[in-house]
Amino acid sequence: MKTRIRSGVVLLLAALTLAGCGDDPGSDLPVNTRLGGDFTLTDHNGEPFRLSSLEDRVVILFFGYTHCPDICPAVLARVAQAYRNLDEQGDAGPVQPVFITFDPERDTPAHLREYLPWFKADIIGLTGSVAEIEAVAEQYGVVFLKTDGQDEAYDFTHSDYIYLLDRQGRVRKLYPADFDIDEVVNDVQSLL
Amino acid sequence: MMFKAFFKPAALAALLAAATSAAAADLEISGAWLRAVPPVSPTMAGYFEIRNRGDRVVKLEGADVAFAGGAMLHDSRTGEDGQRRMVHLDSVRLDPGDRVRFAPGGKHLMLMKLSQVPRAGESVEVCLTFANHDDLCTDFPVRHNAP
Protein backbone atom coordinates (compact mmCIF):
# COMPACT_ATOMS: atom_id res chain seq x y z
CA MET A 1 0.00 0.00 0.00
CA LYS A 2 1.46 3.28 -1.02
CA THR A 3 0.57 6.09 1.23
CA ARG A 4 1.09 9.75 1.17
CA ILE A 5 0.95 11.79 4.29
CA ARG A 6 0.76 15.47 3.72
CA SER A 7 -1.57 16.82 6.29
CA GLY A 8 -0.23 17.59 9.69
CA VAL A 9 -1.10 15.18 12.43
CA VAL A 10 -2.85 16.61 15.40
CA LEU A 11 -3.22 13.98 18.05
CA LEU A 12 -6.60 13.02 19.32
CA LEU A 13 -5.57 14.25 22.73
CA ALA A 14 -5.08 17.66 21.26
CA ALA A 15 -8.34 17.34 19.40
CA LEU A 16 -10.13 16.73 22.61
CA THR A 17 -8.28 19.36 24.60
CA LEU A 18 -10.78 21.93 25.57
CA ALA A 19 -10.41 25.35 27.00
CA GLY A 20 -12.55 28.32 27.65
CA CYS A 21 -16.29 28.63 27.69
CA GLY A 22 -18.76 29.76 25.14
CA ASP A 23 -20.90 32.81 25.50
CA ASP A 24 -24.11 31.05 24.62
CA PRO A 25 -26.39 31.23 27.62
CA GLY A 26 -28.20 28.05 26.55
CA SER A 27 -25.11 25.95 26.06
CA ASP A 28 -22.55 24.41 28.34
CA LEU A 29 -20.40 23.17 25.46
CA PRO A 30 -16.81 24.33 26.00
CA VAL A 31 -14.88 26.06 23.24
CA ASN A 32 -12.12 23.96 21.69
CA THR A 33 -9.25 26.39 21.26
CA ARG A 34 -6.86 23.88 19.66
CA LEU A 35 -8.85 23.14 16.51
CA GLY A 36 -10.63 25.06 13.82
CA GLY A 37 -10.36 28.46 12.29
CA ASP A 38 -11.35 30.25 9.15
CA PHE A 39 -10.45 28.97 5.69
CA THR A 40 -11.28 29.46 2.03
CA LEU A 41 -12.03 26.62 -0.39
CA THR A 42 -14.11 26.24 -3.56
CA ASP A 43 -17.80 25.49 -3.23
CA HIS A 44 -19.98 23.18 -5.34
CA ASN A 45 -20.77 26.09 -7.66
CA GLY A 46 -17.09 26.63 -8.36
CA GLU A 47 -17.04 29.85 -6.36
CA PRO A 48 -14.61 30.76 -3.57
CA PHE A 49 -16.14 29.98 -0.22
CA ARG A 50 -14.93 31.39 3.07
CA LEU A 51 -16.13 29.75 6.27
CA SER A 52 -16.52 33.09 8.00
CA SER A 53 -19.08 34.07 5.35
CA LEU A 54 -21.45 31.85 7.36
CA GLU A 55 -21.37 34.37 10.17
CA ASP A 56 -24.08 33.88 12.74
CA ARG A 57 -24.76 30.33 11.62
CA VAL A 58 -24.17 27.10 13.50
CA VAL A 59 -22.15 24.79 11.24
CA ILE A 60 -22.02 21.00 11.13
CA LEU A 61 -18.67 20.38 9.41
CA PHE A 62 -17.47 17.00 8.18
CA PHE A 63 -14.99 15.48 5.75
CA GLY A 64 -15.21 12.54 3.35
CA TYR A 65 -15.33 11.60 -0.33
CA THR A 66 -18.13 10.47 -2.59
CA HIS A 67 -16.42 7.29 -3.84
CA CYS A 68 -16.46 5.96 -0.29
CA PRO A 69 -19.28 3.39 -0.21
CA ASP A 70 -19.62 2.56 3.46
CA ILE A 71 -18.89 5.22 6.08
CA CYS A 72 -19.26 8.47 4.12
CA PRO A 73 -22.80 7.93 2.77
CA ALA A 74 -23.85 6.84 6.24
CA VAL A 75 -22.40 10.01 7.79
CA LEU A 76 -24.00 12.17 5.11
CA ALA A 77 -27.35 10.47 5.76
CA ARG A 78 -27.06 11.01 9.52
CA VAL A 79 -26.10 14.66 9.17
CA ALA A 80 -28.98 15.10 6.75
CA GLN A 81 -31.39 13.46 9.19
CA ALA A 82 -30.21 15.76 12.00
CA TYR A 83 -30.75 18.75 9.71
CA ARG A 84 -34.23 17.59 8.72
CA ASN A 85 -35.13 16.99 12.38
CA LEU A 86 -34.06 20.56 13.11
CA ASP A 87 -36.08 21.73 10.14
CA GLU A 88 -39.20 19.99 11.43
CA GLN A 89 -38.74 21.92 14.67
CA GLY A 90 -38.28 25.19 12.83
CA ASP A 91 -34.61 25.44 13.82
CA ALA A 92 -32.76 24.71 10.58
CA GLY A 93 -32.66 28.29 9.32
CA PRO A 94 -29.46 29.31 11.14
CA VAL A 95 -27.83 25.87 10.65
CA GLN A 96 -25.48 24.98 7.81
CA PRO A 97 -24.04 21.51 7.04
CA VAL A 98 -20.69 21.74 5.24
CA PHE A 99 -18.97 18.78 3.56
CA ILE A 100 -15.27 18.94 2.62
CA THR A 101 -13.93 16.32 0.24
CA PHE A 102 -10.55 14.61 0.56
CA ASP A 103 -10.73 13.78 -3.13
CA PRO A 104 -10.65 16.90 -5.32
CA GLU A 105 -9.60 14.84 -8.34
CA ARG A 106 -12.96 13.05 -8.52
CA ASP A 107 -15.11 15.29 -6.33
CA THR A 108 -15.21 18.27 -8.64
CA PRO A 109 -17.61 21.14 -8.01
CA ALA A 110 -19.87 19.74 -10.74
CA HIS A 111 -19.95 16.29 -9.14
CA LEU A 112 -20.62 17.69 -5.67
CA ARG A 113 -23.37 19.85 -7.15
CA GLU A 114 -25.08 16.71 -8.46
CA TYR A 115 -24.32 14.45 -5.52
CA LEU A 116 -25.20 16.45 -2.42
CA PRO A 117 -28.75 17.74 -3.09
CA TRP A 118 -30.04 14.14 -2.96
CA PHE A 119 -29.60 14.27 0.82
CA LYS A 120 -32.10 17.15 1.07
CA ALA A 121 -30.15 19.00 3.73
CA ASP A 122 -28.88 22.12 1.95
CA ILE A 123 -25.33 20.79 2.29
CA ILE A 124 -22.54 23.02 0.99
CA GLY A 125 -19.87 20.90 -0.72
CA LEU A 126 -16.29 22.17 -0.68
CA THR A 127 -13.28 21.16 -2.68
CA GLY A 128 -10.01 22.79 -3.68
CA SER A 129 -6.43 21.96 -4.45
CA VAL A 130 -4.86 19.12 -2.52
CA ALA A 131 -2.70 21.65 -0.68
CA GLU A 132 -5.70 23.76 0.26
CA ILE A 133 -7.63 20.78 1.59
CA GLU A 134 -4.59 19.54 3.50
CA ALA A 135 -4.25 22.92 5.16
CA VAL A 136 -7.88 22.88 6.32
CA ALA A 137 -7.53 19.27 7.46
CA GLU A 138 -4.55 20.27 9.57
CA GLN A 139 -6.51 23.11 11.14
CA TYR A 140 -9.16 20.64 12.23
CA GLY A 141 -6.85 17.80 13.21
CA VAL A 142 -8.04 15.63 10.34
CA VAL A 143 -5.65 13.09 8.86
CA PHE A 144 -6.18 11.52 5.47
CA LEU A 145 -3.98 9.21 3.44
CA LYS A 146 -4.53 8.34 -0.18
CA THR A 147 -4.15 4.63 -0.78
CA ASP A 148 -3.77 3.05 -4.20
CA GLY A 149 -6.25 0.34 -5.01
CA GLN A 150 -6.89 -2.11 -7.79
CA ASP A 151 -8.26 -1.29 -11.19
CA GLU A 152 -7.37 2.39 -11.10
CA ALA A 153 -9.38 2.79 -7.93
CA TYR A 154 -8.07 4.48 -4.85
CA ASP A 155 -9.37 5.10 -1.40
CA PHE A 156 -8.55 7.20 1.61
CA THR A 157 -7.68 6.23 5.12
CA HIS A 158 -9.07 9.03 7.20
CA SER A 159 -10.35 10.24 10.51
CA ASP A 160 -14.07 10.77 10.46
CA TYR A 161 -15.06 13.17 13.21
CA ILE A 162 -17.94 15.56 12.73
CA TYR A 163 -17.44 19.09 14.05
CA LEU A 164 -20.01 21.38 15.58
CA LEU A 165 -19.10 25.05 15.13
CA ASP A 166 -20.89 27.84 16.92
CA ARG A 167 -22.07 31.12 15.42
CA GLN A 168 -18.59 32.56 15.80
CA GLY A 169 -17.05 29.64 13.91
CA ARG A 170 -15.49 28.10 17.02
CA VAL A 171 -15.34 24.33 17.48
CA ARG A 172 -17.66 23.36 20.30
CA LYS A 173 -17.89 19.59 20.00
CA LEU A 174 -16.63 16.59 18.04
CA TYR A 175 -18.74 13.54 17.28
CA PRO A 176 -17.87 10.07 16.00
CA ALA A 177 -19.20 8.88 12.65
CA ASP A 178 -21.99 6.92 14.31
CA PHE A 179 -23.11 9.91 16.36
CA ASP A 180 -26.45 10.07 18.07
CA ILE A 181 -28.74 12.23 15.94
CA ASP A 182 -30.75 13.53 18.90
CA GLU A 183 -27.54 14.54 20.67
CA VAL A 184 -26.47 16.64 17.70
CA VAL A 185 -29.92 18.20 17.39
CA ASN A 186 -29.92 19.12 21.08
CA ASP A 187 -26.37 20.51 20.92
CA VAL A 188 -27.18 22.59 17.84
CA GLN A 189 -30.28 23.99 19.50
CA SER A 190 -28.23 24.95 22.57
CA LEU A 191 -26.13 27.20 20.32
CA LEU A 192 -29.00 28.95 18.55
CA MET B 1 -57.62 -18.00 15.63
CA MET B 2 -55.15 -19.36 13.15
CA PHE B 3 -55.35 -16.11 11.23
CA LYS B 4 -54.42 -14.15 14.35
CA ALA B 5 -51.61 -16.52 15.19
CA PHE B 6 -50.27 -16.26 11.68
CA PHE B 7 -49.90 -12.53 11.98
CA LYS B 8 -48.31 -12.43 15.38
CA PRO B 9 -45.32 -10.11 15.26
CA ALA B 10 -42.85 -12.96 15.49
CA ALA B 11 -44.46 -14.77 12.61
CA LEU B 12 -44.58 -11.59 10.57
CA ALA B 13 -40.92 -10.91 11.30
CA ALA B 14 -40.05 -14.41 10.14
CA LEU B 15 -41.97 -13.84 6.92
CA LEU B 16 -40.18 -10.55 6.30
CA ALA B 17 -36.83 -12.14 7.01
CA ALA B 18 -37.60 -14.93 4.59
CA ALA B 19 -38.43 -12.37 1.94
CA THR B 20 -34.82 -11.18 1.89
CA SER B 21 -33.04 -14.44 2.48
CA ALA B 22 -31.69 -17.07 0.18
CA ALA B 23 -30.34 -20.49 0.79
CA ALA B 24 -28.48 -23.22 -0.98
CA ALA B 25 -28.38 -26.62 0.67
CA ASP B 26 -25.45 -25.53 2.77
CA LEU B 27 -25.30 -21.70 2.62
CA GLU B 28 -27.83 -19.21 3.91
CA ILE B 29 -27.97 -15.46 3.32
CA SER B 30 -30.19 -13.23 5.44
CA GLY B 31 -30.76 -9.55 6.14
CA ALA B 32 -29.47 -8.48 2.73
CA TRP B 33 -29.73 -4.81 1.73
CA LEU B 34 -28.01 -2.06 -0.25
CA ARG B 35 -27.58 1.45 1.11
CA ALA B 36 -29.45 4.01 -0.99
CA VAL B 37 -27.11 6.60 -2.51
CA PRO B 38 -27.49 9.53 -4.93
CA PRO B 39 -28.12 8.63 -8.60
CA VAL B 40 -24.67 9.99 -9.53
CA SER B 41 -22.92 7.93 -6.90
CA PRO B 42 -20.04 5.89 -8.32
CA THR B 43 -20.29 3.19 -5.67
CA MET B 44 -22.71 1.61 -3.26
CA ALA B 45 -22.39 -0.85 -0.42
CA GLY B 46 -24.22 -4.08 0.29
CA TYR B 47 -24.75 -5.77 3.63
CA PHE B 48 -25.94 -9.23 4.63
CA GLU B 49 -25.26 -12.16 6.88
CA ILE B 50 -24.03 -15.45 5.50
CA ARG B 51 -24.06 -18.76 7.33
CA ASN B 52 -22.35 -21.98 6.36
CA ARG B 53 -24.57 -24.84 7.39
CA GLY B 54 -22.59 -27.36 5.37
CA ASP B 55 -19.73 -29.59 6.35
CA ARG B 56 -16.96 -28.08 4.23
CA VAL B 57 -15.08 -24.81 4.07
CA VAL B 58 -16.47 -22.27 1.61
CA LYS B 59 -14.67 -19.13 0.39
CA LEU B 60 -16.73 -16.09 -0.56
CA GLU B 61 -14.90 -14.10 -3.22
CA GLY B 62 -17.21 -11.37 -4.52
CA ALA B 63 -20.40 -10.83 -6.44
CA ASP B 64 -21.87 -10.51 -9.88
CA VAL B 65 -24.35 -7.67 -10.23
CA ALA B 66 -25.93 -6.68 -13.54
CA PHE B 67 -25.64 -2.92 -12.99
CA ALA B 68 -22.12 -2.92 -11.50
CA GLY B 69 -18.89 -3.21 -13.41
CA GLY B 70 -17.16 -4.69 -10.40
CA ALA B 71 -17.70 -5.87 -6.87
CA MET B 72 -15.20 -6.29 -4.06
CA LEU B 73 -15.25 -7.46 -0.49
CA HIS B 74 -14.06 -4.72 1.82
CA ASP B 75 -13.64 -4.19 5.51
CA SER B 76 -13.79 -0.76 7.15
CA ARG B 77 -11.37 -0.93 10.06
CA THR B 78 -10.48 1.59 12.72
CA GLY B 79 -6.86 1.64 13.84
CA GLU B 80 -5.55 2.46 17.31
CA ASP B 81 -4.94 5.98 16.03
CA GLY B 82 -8.64 6.37 15.30
CA GLN B 83 -8.08 6.37 11.55
CA ARG B 84 -10.67 4.60 9.46
CA ARG B 85 -9.33 2.60 6.54
CA MET B 86 -10.80 0.32 3.95
CA VAL B 87 -9.15 -3.06 3.51
CA HIS B 88 -9.71 -5.18 0.42
CA LEU B 89 -10.47 -8.79 1.24
CA ASP B 90 -9.50 -11.34 -1.41
CA SER B 91 -11.96 -13.78 0.13
CA VAL B 92 -13.87 -14.49 3.29
CA ARG B 93 -13.47 -18.00 4.65
CA LEU B 94 -16.50 -19.71 6.11
CA ASP B 95 -15.79 -22.82 8.11
CA PRO B 96 -18.66 -25.23 8.78
CA GLY B 97 -21.03 -23.54 11.20
CA ASP B 98 -19.55 -20.07 10.66
CA ARG B 99 -21.80 -17.04 10.47
CA VAL B 100 -20.26 -13.83 9.08
CA ARG B 101 -22.01 -10.49 9.19
CA PHE B 102 -21.45 -7.75 6.65
CA ALA B 103 -22.63 -4.54 8.31
CA PRO B 104 -22.08 -0.75 8.12
CA GLY B 105 -18.71 0.22 9.53
CA GLY B 106 -17.33 -3.28 9.02
CA LYS B 107 -17.26 -5.85 6.26
CA HIS B 108 -19.23 -4.82 3.22
CA LEU B 109 -19.73 -5.62 -0.42
CA MET B 110 -18.56 -2.65 -2.50
CA LEU B 111 -20.23 -2.28 -5.90
CA MET B 112 -18.31 -0.14 -8.38
CA LYS B 113 -18.65 1.29 -11.88
CA LEU B 114 -22.40 1.48 -11.59
CA SER B 115 -24.25 1.72 -14.90
CA GLN B 116 -27.35 2.71 -12.97
CA VAL B 117 -28.10 3.31 -9.33
CA PRO B 118 -31.19 1.55 -7.97
CA ARG B 119 -33.40 3.70 -5.80
CA ALA B 120 -34.68 3.19 -2.29
CA GLY B 121 -37.65 0.86 -2.39
CA GLU B 122 -36.33 -1.16 -5.31
CA SER B 123 -34.84 -4.63 -5.04
CA VAL B 124 -32.00 -5.87 -7.19
CA GLU B 125 -30.51 -9.30 -7.65
CA VAL B 126 -27.01 -9.83 -6.32
CA CYS B 127 -25.22 -13.12 -6.96
CA LEU B 128 -22.51 -13.88 -4.43
CA THR B 129 -19.59 -15.76 -5.96
CA PHE B 130 -17.35 -18.32 -4.30
CA ALA B 131 -14.05 -20.05 -4.95
CA ASN B 132 -15.53 -23.49 -4.44
CA HIS B 133 -19.28 -23.18 -4.54
CA ASP B 134 -22.00 -22.29 -7.02
CA ASP B 135 -23.17 -18.68 -7.08
CA LEU B 136 -25.85 -17.81 -4.58
CA CYS B 137 -28.32 -15.21 -5.84
CA THR B 138 -30.79 -13.20 -3.82
CA ASP B 139 -32.65 -9.90 -3.96
CA PHE B 140 -31.12 -7.00 -2.05
CA PRO B 141 -33.68 -4.31 -1.20
CA VAL B 142 -32.35 -0.76 -1.43
CA ARG B 143 -32.87 1.10 1.82
CA HIS B 144 -31.85 4.32 3.54
CA ASN B 145 -31.10 2.55 6.82
CA ALA B 146 -30.35 -0.91 8.09
CA PRO B 147 -33.40 -3.16 8.47
What digits encode the pLDDT tens for the residues A58-75?
999 999 999 888 889 999
Contact yes or no for B83 and A145 at CB 8 A: yes
On chain B, the residues whose CB falls within 8 A of the CB of A178 are 105
A122, β-bridge pairs:
none
Distance CA A17, CA A160 (A): 18
What digits encode the pLDDT tens for the residues A144-158?
888 876 555 787 878
Minimal CA separation from B36 to chain A, in Å:
9
The mean pLDDT of chain B is 86
Domains and CATH numbers, chain B: 31-143 (2.60.40.1890)
Contact yes or no for B45 and A69 at CB 8 A: yes
Contact yes or no for B86 and A74 at CB 8 A: no
On chain B, the residues whose CB falls within 8 A of the CB of A160 are 84
Residue A181 touches partner B, C-beta closer than 8 Å: no
pLDDT value at residue B40: 95
Q: Chain B: residue nearest A143 by CA?
A: B83
CATH superfamily of A12-19+28-45+53-175+182-191: Glutaredoxin (3.40.30.10)
Distance CA B37, CA B20 (A): 20
Residue A48 touches partner B, C-beta closer than 8 Å: no
Segments making up each domain of chain A, as ranges:
12-19+28-45+53-175+182-191
Band of residue A127 on the pLDDT scale cut at 50, 70, 90: very high
The mean pLDDT of chain A is 87
Three-state secondary-structure class, residue B10: helix
pLDDT at B15 over 50: no
What digits encode the pLDDT tens for the residues A160-192?
899 999 999 999 999 998 899 999 999 999 999
Q: SS3 for B112-141, per residue? A: EEECCCCCCCCEEEEEEEECCCCCEEEEEE
ipTM of the complex: 0.80
Residue among A100, A82, A96, A98 nearest A187 (CA): A82
**Is-contact A169 A70, C-beta < 8 A?**
no
Contact yes or no for B112 and A157 at CB 8 A: no
